[in-house]
Chain A
């Protein structure tokens, strides 16, 4: 026993001079079980990992892969019923599993820190920020009240908190999500830990905020000389930040390597498939028309005994041997557990040079321009305005003015076209979607469906018209009545609109299931019995029931894992081709919108700041905000991430209650000048921008055409 606890000594590359450095943290064959009522889930099965002092280890995987359970096992924070059942957690040479509980608790508080996913719920709502941040100091170091406050101010300043001396007296609900995450980081760092575990630290945040937080963690790692474990589902986040990466699948580490190496030549077939499923990869390698590679099936149920490679049932290269043999990680720097790995020579997905972001679009294999001005648009939105009366919530119910959610937005969607609407939370993109499907009435402006103004219609006519437009939700489970079976859910739109008789409806429902690729057996089941991807298919089937011409998808794939997301995106595209559907695709995820959309509109604080063909908007953005958004999107091409020197925006989104006059982006724009206090019109021909200082002129229409032909 004493021999095996001897920490493994490894040459650490970063040390440079060849001195042997001990890992700061080493997991050896860690097993974690979670006892649930329906059985025991073997969340981790023989997980072994190392973290060197000062390095960032990225742990990546889809939901259920065990990445969060690994983090919680290290911290001793497993949920009720959870228990580490085997293996060792060697931290600074001592096995945390064999130390007395008090000692472990102290280690956790002083030597380690953890940042959680959801900053909105991770702070105590009724405790002042300063107290929460300084609490570890007071408990573990016996620091007095006054000094604790001082040090809380100090650490808040170091995590980039504006006015930290005032923030300490605030409560969490008074801060934005990004600011709360800074508080959480400050809290984790207040005792200067050796190891910071960040579990999806930016998943709940907008991309521009995500970038700020990730950079902050990077800077602090150097400043504090600590190691970081960055747990995430987002390959892009890992690619830009981690020194080494461990890929997890179904409770095991399947591959680990230096970041550049892993992304250049992934060896495990799962890693390979995961990268191919990214829309980013498809767009870069084969153009937008390419189908995404989607990994079939679902991850295995970890409460059952499993033999062989756990990815085998979903793998393209599976052999009988894979199903029966348990494969251990190979040795060396690049470890993988695969019998039929991708060949070692780098022919992986990242062989092409990264696209030059700054150049105007080399419009190779661009989508045929489907936007013909002659065809009547299926949806036409003109000068749309939506204001909400703002009440002080809670105690004071007086009218506090108006929230300008959508301010003078105009765009058109042609039949069969996909119009992508991107922007960060609170920009009004979802409100536009809700207005378009008639869930809410606009304060001003027109919505024309097939050339008919909705405002002129009432009652039955209006309802009939609305058949043309259907909504697809982000969280399909929440959008379905949990007490209704799938057959009732799918029949409901038909019943409400009085379409056909019973037999005709049943026939329609069966054909809908065929269209979305579900078997008829699902009809007798309830929503809670389905996985996220299946629910999204059912949601899509429901939207299709009335044979609409336009579907408004509000973040339809944002809650899904990459492999499942690919399935749904492919399905949406197939249906578009078969049925001639048009989509308004609302998402915060620029790479998904880039893949799906023919044209993209970018919204900021209720305004449409840029509209144009997708390729041009993404590759030759004209508005500084669009460029900042693009630059903030993490990419799996490490070079692309590194090469960015574009627009970085700082600060926080202003309140829509009293939006800035003139250009609403001017308060955060690096290019803003006096003239920006007057509102810039949305100008241009095909690629419009609302900016006094567009980053580049509109790509010449003629050359764009030539480009398409070439």
Chain B
């Protein structure tokens, strides 16, 4: 197990390094470069050159990259002149809030999607299945900003029970202190996820219900409830773990559209605004964070899988 972990971590590290290289190259290939973006259109060539010299942008790229990596290792992601704060600071301010929103919506999605998927699989090709399938597809096909707008119109205009804006608090505590504000963004984010997850759960459950071991379970005279919940559900949920692992990066990146729509000061909004203003340090910083989250997500999913599925677990330790 330890050996496996080391190997996997090694692979993950290689991926992260590659991501930093690619991100670095792309950002420096952009027309105008960082100096133009920072100093604006009015800056003179001398000013640009001075800026570039000061930041080390006139040195060879390899050297620049190494400098960048060195700073990265010290937890320094650069400084955003536009926000007038360090990238790390900007991210640490927003990341926890984004995570709150993402976690809430993911939890909500799982709690609803699993039973829905199971019901669909057990009643497949009958009306409960058709109904849920139709609704899922509708939810999945609706653009998320439209969904969010409808939510705002319905629940804060037509029937004003919830605020249209997410909590504006500066810290997680302040955000959580205004739970009503979290409801609409959470639900909006969850709806699409529910659609994806319930389809997924349905298909793995349908596959598993056709397996021979389910027939064996029935031959033991078990109730249908026991056959589904005890025998099939566990095996049917393994693939969902992988899906969750893939969702981890979203926890960090936040949701561009929903955060903008509900004016939620999270990672998504940070990234969106940085992109509009060509705030390279922020863009690069967020990209690196998300890429690390992606790699770690896959790793966590694999480990979780190994922890819950005896076939994976024992195959590893016995050889």
Chain A residues close to B by CB (< 8 Å): 75, 77, 105-110, 113-114, 116, 118, 121-127, 135-136, 139-140, 171, 173-174, 184, 187-188, 390-398, 400
**Lowest 4 CB-CB distances: which A-B pairs, in order?**
A109-B221, A392-B319, A395-B316, A394-B315
Does the CB pair A392–B216 fall under 8 Å?
A: no
CB distance B226 to A393 under 8 Å? Answer: no
Q: Does B212 contact A (CB under 8 A)?
A: yes
Contact at A395–B4, with CB atoms within 8 Å? yes
Q: Which B residues are CB-close (under 8 A) to A135? A: 217, 220, 222
Q: Is B3's CB within 8 Å of the partner chain A? A: yes
Q: Give chain A residues whose Cβ lies under 8 Å from the Cβ of B317.
A: 395-396
> Binary interface profile of B, 219-231, with partner A (CB < 8 Å = 1, else 0)?
1111100100001
Separation of A679 and B225 alpha carbons in the complex (Å): 57
- At the interface, yes or no: B310 with Cβ under 8 Å from chain A? yes
Contacts of A127 on B, CB cut-off 8 Å? 231
User: Across the interface, do B221 and A116 meet the contact criterion of CB distance under 8 Å?
Assistant: no
Q: B296: shortest Cβ distance to chain A, in Å?
A: 18
Q: Are B319 and A400 in contact (CB under 8 A)?
A: yes
In the complex, which of the residues A173, A184, A398 contacts B3, with contact meaning CB atoms closer than 8 Å? A398
| B217–A174 touching, CB < 8 Å | no
Choose from A105, A122, A136 the contact partner of B223 (Cβ within 8 Å): A105
Q: Is the beta-carbon distance between A125 and B311 smaller than 8 angstroms?
A: yes
Instruction: Say yes or no: A77 contacts B220, CB within 8 Å.
Output: no
Closest to A128 in B: B310
Chain A residues near B7: list those with CB within 8 A.
Answer: 397
Q: A109-B222, A396-B4, A398-B3 are in contact. Are A124 and B311 (CB under 8 A)?
A: no
Taking a contact as CB atoms under 8 Å apart, the answer to whether A394 and B316 are in contact is yes
B309 is an interface residue with CB less than 8 A from chain A: yes
- B71 / chain A contacts, CB cutoff of 8 Å: none
Query: Is B221 a contact of A184 with CB atoms below 8 Å?
Result: no
Q: List 9 A-B contacts (CB under 8 A).
A: A122-B213, A122-B215, A174-B318, A187-B220, A392-B316, A395-B4, A395-B312, A396-B1, A396-B4
- Partner of B319 from A114, A118, A396 at Cβ < 8 Å: A396
Residue of A nearest to B303 (CB): A395
Given the known interface contacts A118-B212, A125-B311, A395-B4, the answer about A108 and B235 at a Cβ–Cβ threshold of 8 Å is: no
CB-contact partner of A174 in B218, B226, B309, B314, under 8 A = B314
Does residue B174 face the partner (Cβ distance < 8 Å to A)? Answer: no
How many angstroms between the C-alpha atoms of A173 and B316 in the bound complex? Answer: 13
Q: Is the CB of B216 within 8 A of A124?
A: yes
Residues in chain A near residue B318, CB distance under 8 A: 174, 392
Could you say which residues of chain B place their CB within 8 Å of the CB of A125? 213, 235, 310-311
Q: Which of B206-247 contact A (CB under 8 A)?
A: 211-213, 215-223, 226, 231, 234-235
A395 touching B306, Cβ below 8 Å: yes
Inter-chain contact B213/A139, CB cutoff 8 Å? no
The answer to whether B311 touches A171, judged by C-beta atoms less than 8 angstroms apart, is yes
Which single residue of chain B is at the shortest CB-CB distance from A102?
B223
| Cβ of A178 to closest chain B Cβ, rounded Å | 17
CA distance A391 to B4 in the complex (A): 13
**A77 cross-chain contacts in B, Cβ below 8 A:** 215, 218-219
- Would A393 and B315 count as touching, CB distance under 8 A? yes
Q: Which residues of A contact B212 (CB under 8 A)?
A: 116, 118, 121-122
- List B residues at the A interface (Cβ < 8 Å): 1, 3-4, 7, 211-213, 215-223, 226, 231, 234-235, 306, 309-319
**Closest residue of A by beta carbon distance from B219:** A114
B315 touching A108, Cβ below 8 Å: no
- Tell me whether B220 and A124 are in contact (CB under 8 A): no
Chain A residues near B215 (CB, 8 Å)? 77, 116, 122
Docked-complex contact B315 and A187, CB < 8 angstroms: no
Distance between Cα atoms of A398 and B2 in the complex (Å): 12
Q: Which residue of B has the minimal Cβ distance to A174?
A: B314
**With contacts A171-B311, A171-B314, A392-B315 known, is A122 near B216, CB below 8 A?**
yes
Using Cβ atoms and an 8 Å threshold, which residues of chain B touch A139? 220-223, 226
Question: Which B residues touch A118, using CB under 8 A?
Answer: 212
List chain A residues, Cβ under 8 A from B319: 390-394, 396, 398, 400
Residues in chain B near residue A394, CB distance under 8 A:
311-312, 315-316, 319
Most buried by B among A118, A139, A395: A395
Partner of A396, one of B3, B218, B234: B3
| Chain B nearest Cβ from A193, distance in angstroms | 10
Complex CA gap A436/B311 in Å reads 35
- CA of A400 to CA of B15, assembled, Å: 27
B231 contact set on A, CB distance < 8 A:
124, 127
Q: Which residue of A lies closest to B7 (CB)?
A: A397
Smallest Cβ distance from A319 to chain B, in angstroms? 43
Using A395-B315, A396-B3 as known contacts, list a sample of 5 further A-B pairs with CB atoms less than 8 Å apart, ordered by residue number in A: A125-B235, A126-B234, A126-B309, A139-B226, A397-B4
Which of chain A's residues have a CB closer than 8 A to the CB of B222? 105, 109, 135-136, 139
Chain B residues with Cβ below 8 Å from A123 are 213, 216
Nearest residue (CB) in A for B232 is: A124
Chain A minimum-CB-distance residue to B217: A124
Residues of A close to B312: CB separation below 8 A: 394-395
* Whole-angstrom distance between the Cβ of A534 and the nearest chain B Cβ: 27
Docked CA distance A140–B217 (Å): 13
A173 near B311 with CB under 8 A, answer yes
- Complex CA distance for A390 and B315, rounded to whole angstroms: 13
Q: Which of A108, A121, A395, A397 meets B213, CB within 8 Å?
A: A121
Which of B216, B221, B309, B317 gathers most chain A CB within 10 Å? B221
CA distance A173 to B314 in the complex (A): 9
Q: How far is the CB of A52 from chain B (nearest CB, A)?
A: 22
Provide the bound-state CA to CA distance between A171 and B318, in Å.
13
A392 — which chain B residues lie within 8 A by C-beta?
315-316, 318-319
The interface residues of chain B lying within 8 Å CB-to-CB of A187 are 216, 220
A109 contacts B220, CB within 8 Å? Answer: yes
Bound Cα distance A105, B220 (Å): 8
Q: How far is the CB of B6 from chain A (nearest CB, A)?
A: 11
A109 to B224 Cα, complex, angstroms: 13
Contact flag A105-B213 (CB < 8 Å), given A126-B234, A171-B314? no
Residues of chain A lying within 8 A (CB to CB) of residue B316: 392, 394-396
A392-B316, A396-B316 known; A124 and B221 CB under 8 Å?
no
A546–B219 Cα distance when bound, in Å, is 51
Question: How many Å lie between the Cα of A392 and that of B4 in the bound state?
Answer: 11
- Residues of chain A within 8 A (CB-CB) of B234 are 126
Q: Which residue of A lies closest to B8 (CB)?
A: A395
CA distance A171 to B317 in the complex (A): 14
- CB-CB nearest in chain A for B209: A80
Q: For the complex, what is the distance from the CA of A37 to the CA of B176, rounded to whole Å?
A: 53
- Do A113 and B219 touch (CB < 8 A)? yes
Nearest residue (CB) in A for B124 is A80
Shortest beta-carbon distance from B189 to chain A in Å:
32
How far, in angstroms, from A169 to B218 measured CA to CA in the complex?
A: 22
**Distance (Å) between the CB of A168 and the closest chain B CB?**
14
- Residue of A110, A121, A126, A398 near B221 (CB, 8 A) is A110
CB distance from B141 to the nearest CB of A (A): 27
Contact, CB under 8 Å: B1 / A116 = no
Nearest chain A CB to B256's CB is how many angstroms away? 36
Which among B1, B234, B315 has the greatest number of chain A C-beta atoms within 10 A?
B315
How far is B217's CA from A121's CA once the two chains are assembled, in angstroms?
A: 12
Q: Which single residue of chain A is at the shortest CB-CB distance from B313?
A: A395
- Are B3 and A126 neighbours in the complex by a CB distance under 8 Å? no
In the assembled complex, the CB of A197 is this many whole angstroms from the nearest CB of chain B, namely 9
Bound together, the chains give a CA A532 to CA B234 distance in angstroms of 36
CA distance A474 to B9 in the complex (A): 43
In Å, the complex CA distance between A188 and B1 comes to 36
How far, in angstroms, from A239 to B222 measured CA to CA in the complex?
34
- Chain B positions within 8 Å of A124 at CB level: 213, 216-217, 231, 235
8 Å CB contact of A171 from B1, B4, B221, B310: B310
Most B C-beta atoms less than 10 A away, residue of A113, A126, A174: A126
Chain B nearest CB from A62 CB (Å) reads 21
Q: Taking the nearest CB of chain A, how far is it from the CB of B282, in angstroms?
A: 38
Partner of B310, one of A109, A126, A396: A126
In the complex, the answer to whether B211 meets A121 with C-beta atoms within 8 Å is yes
Q: Which residue of B lies closest to A105 (CB)?
A: B221
